Amino acid sequence: MVFYSFFNYILIIIIFIYVGITGVGGLALIGVDVPSLLQYIGNVPLVGNVAKFSVAFPFVFHYISGCRHMMWDKDPNMLDTESVTKSSYAVFGSAAALSAGLALVSC
């Protein structure tokens, strides 16, 4: 059951990304100046930060998870339930903190 629910989340993420890409593409097709629109959204204080966080988090999380996986490849003895659970919390927390920091950076 866990395996099935895992792939449900992947499907949801793929659909979310696809909807975002097609939404921006659709705006571009009807003549909306997408870069100006995104810059405007980025400058709205709370909305801009939330939007930047929601874009940054998946990338930061994936990068940190990849680094953790490379550590496991080098030392498979690190793969026990307790250390995997602790490192999962660390990956999630550090990704959230770094993403929040990136969201606060203004371009």
What's the pTM value of the predicted model, to 2 decimals?
A: 0.62
Q: What tokens appear for 53 in the block?
A: 């966080």
Q: Helices then strands (H, E): number in the chain? A: 4, 0
Higher pLDDT, 75 or 47: 75
Residue that has been written with the tokens 């810059």 in this structure: 39
Neighbours of 38 (CB within 10 A): 15
Q: pLDDT for 16-49, tens place per residue? A: 676 666 666 666 667 767 678 777 777 777 888 8
Q: Judge whether residue 1 has pLDDT over 50.
A: no
Mean pLDDT of 73-77: 87
Mean pLDDT of the chain: 77
Judged by phi (left if over 0) then psi (alpha if -120 to 50, else beta), residue 33 lies in beta
Whether 57 shows a pLDDT value over 60: the answer reads: yes
